[in-house]
């Protein structure tokens, strides 16, 4: 999970993920959206691949990136649960079930 949060810590990488939500894009199409060098973008892509947030597919001379949303969802769910977000307190669960403890 630490690799996912490392990847998400950078605004450029977060923007890449946002762009990929619209659908697969080539490395060139993604790079055109940023005012950084191609080697810098390649480094960002490598971090995203290492975190398993994107899948790279070689098509001819192009590399097409696909978002792996399930990995991101799992990481965010795990993070939220580690803080008790989305988890009911035991007393609330008992009250909903009609259990009063008497």
Model confidence over 33-63: pLDDT tens digits?
999 999 999 999 999 999 999 999 999 999 9
pTM of the model: 0.73
Using alpha carbons, list the distances in angstroms from residue 13 to 5, 27, 71, 78, 85: 11, 13, 15, 20, 25
Q: What is the DSSP string of 20-76?
A: HTT--EEHHHHHTTSSS-HHHHHHHHHHHHHTTSEEEEEETTEEEEEE-HHHHHHHH
Model confidence over 71-93: pLDDT tens digits?
777 777 777 777 777 655 445 44
Q: Which residues pair with 59 in a beta bridge?
A: 62
């Amino acid at each position: 999970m630490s690799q996912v949060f490392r990847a998400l810590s950078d605004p450029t990488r977060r923007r890449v993920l946002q762009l990929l939500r619209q659908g697969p894009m080539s490395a060139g199409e993604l790079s055109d959206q940023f005012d950084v060098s191609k080697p810098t973008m390649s480094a960002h892509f490598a971090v995203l691949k290492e975190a398993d947030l994107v899948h790279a597919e070689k098509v001819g001379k192009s590399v097409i990136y696909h978002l792996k949303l399930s990995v991101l969802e799992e990481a965010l769910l795990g993070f939220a649960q580690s803080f008790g977000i989305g988890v009911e307190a035991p007393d609330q669960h008992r009250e909903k079930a009609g259990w009063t403890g008497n």
